[in-house]
Amino acid sequence: MSGFGPRAMIRGARRAIARLPSLSMGRVPDAPALPVRDPWPGDADAGARLLRGELVHGGTTRPLVPGGWQDNSGSAVLRAAAHGFAWLRDLRALGTDPARLRARQLVSEWMASPPQDAIAQRPDVIGCRITAWLGHYDFFAATADDGFRQRLMGRLVSDARGLSAALPAEEIDARALTAIKGLIAAAVALPEHAGFMTRALRFLPPEILRQVLPDGCHAERSHAAQLAALQDLTEIRALLQAGQTQPPPALANAIERMATALRVMRHGDGGLALFNGSREESGALIDLVLTQAGRVARGPSALTDGGFHRLQAGRSVLIVDCGAPPPAGVDRYAHAGTLAMELSIGRDRMIVNCGAFPAGPSVWRDAARSTAAHSTLVIADHNSSELRSNGLGRRPTDVKVQRQEANGAHWLEAHHDGWMKPFGAIHRRRLYVSESGEDIRGEDVIEAAQPQPYVLRFHLHPDVQASMQQDGEAVLLRLRSGTGWRLRADHARLTLEESIYLGGAEPRRTEQVVLTGTVDSPQHVKWAISKVG
């Protein structure tokens, strides 16, 4: 959406009017009328780092110290995390008096001199901040002096008024749900402002319809966005229950569908597969989110609208991205990873994508989004989708998949046209998983009038030990559990090269198996991964 269109001008005028003190909407209450609870656990280690003046988010850090709220260093994602105050749960997890006092000090200084960074006033950041301040009110504010509590409640009313005026948010991705959640939290805690709830419930159903695909996959096709949106929706349901407000019918249905879809996106270790801006996340957190969601059906083998396929046999789980990239407006996290795959054996990840670094420097973010950072084919060092700072440019438009199952074995064939414009090329990928899950085969084919150089990559999880066999035609892979697997290939030169893994708490060095073909090579490569012994 344009930031200078008529809707943006009207929205800006509403927000400016909402901030005018002369139009105060009644007396500021002494405390929240109803408690608002943050249902998600904090990280005590992250809380300890906050006491040392370091905010940890998305694999990177930025200073967060008393007197430092005008510091605009770090990426937009990192600054949004700072001004959203969800990190209060980490100080709460630490649970000490110094943690409580640091939380109070940082909130007090923020209110006394609100940052000039425009990100601090983005609707989703306001929504996150309102929810965090209310969700941890009893931790940092209940025992404070009257003056602090009065300033806090006044700021909450002011922020909620501004947020109400800002809806519908310009961001049409999962951040819009965070904004709506914040307004509902304010409505529950400040029931005398009945207009907050009315306005939030006006925008919630159409937002759910826009963001949740029929199969339960989030429109961004990001497992990270899937988890965050499901957390927001379950919080919204709990808030409406606390406020004794009837939820819209679409809410319960969306939660159930999204929770079911989330199961498709998990590896055997309980964490997320690494597609489109995602990191592993905590398996315990995902379990808690699914528990909060309530009764969840068994996950299907495929998300036909989202485009993710799960081939599971024995202890093996193969997850493949067989969908077209998300459309403009919801492609902020989109990677150029069409037809990328990940493979885990039991609780051990073997083949992975590099992950994501959304809070890192732009050069790192783009490197993680590139096709080369995924376990798939790359033609002539070109990405299958054009990477832009706010999403994608050129992208595959024709992505098709066929799947068959028989006697416990799986066959999948998919193709995409992401390289049609630069090279007139189609990438076709065929996959097979045996009934036992111990024989996994693939074939990658380039269909083009002119032969193309290509590289096929298999990024390895850092816990995998890889060694080239003496004949140079296979790589032996030893998993953390001790089991051995062999990756071999035909029609391409096989090498073992360095890689990096961004899926965990911090970047880790790892390796990748690389199959290289030239314009003189066959335009197809067959490969197999089989258990040894």
Q: In the chain, where are the structural domains located?
A: 35-166, 195-299, 307-532
Are 307 and 399 within 8 A, CB to CB? yes
| Overall residue count recorded for the chain in this entry | 533
Confidence of residue 169 (pLDDT cuts 50, 70, 90): confident
Mean pLDDT, rounded, for 240-264: 96
Residue with tokens 């008096």: 97
Six-digit token pair at 435? Answer: 């009934």
**What is the pLDDT at residue 479?**
98
SS (H, E, C) 382-399: ECCCCEECCEECCCCCCE
Average pLDDT, rounded, for the chain: 93
**What is the pLDDT at residue 240?**
98
What's the DSSP call for residue 502? B
Confidence of residue 264 (pLDDT cuts 50, 70, 90): very high
Instruction: List the one residue out of 477, 472, 431, 428 whose CA is nearest residue 454.
Output: 428
Q: What are phi and psi of 403, to 5 degrees?
A: -140, 140
Percent of the chain with pLDDT over 90: 87
**What is the pLDDT at residue 488?**
96
**What is the pLDDT at residue 301?**
94
**What is the pLDDT at residue 15?**
55
**What is the pLDDT at residue 27?**
75
**What is the pLDDT at residue 366?**
93
**What is the pLDDT at residue 16?**
54
Pick among 2.70.98.70, 3.40.50.970, 3.40.50.150, 3.40.50.2300: CATH of 307-532: 2.70.98.70
Mean pLDDT, rounded, for 4-20: 53
**What is the pLDDT at residue 23?**
45
Predicted TM-score (pTM) of the model is 0.94
**What is the pLDDT at residue 26?**
57
Mean pLDDT, rounded, for 188-205: 96
**What is the pLDDT at residue 525?**
96
Amino acid at 295: R
Confidence of residue 5 (pLDDT cuts 50, 70, 90): low
Confidence of residue 7 (pLDDT cuts 50, 70, 90): low
Helix pair 223-242, 175-189: axis angle to 10 deg: 20
What's the DSSP call for residue 507? -
pLDDT exceeds cutoff 80 at 127: yes
**What is the pLDDT at residue 10?**
53
Q: What are phi and psi of 182, to 5 degrees?
A: -65, -40
Six-digit token pair at 262? Answer: 């989330």
**What is the pLDDT at residue 279?**
96
Rounded to an integer, what distance in angstroms lies between the CA atom of residue 378 and that of residue 370? 10
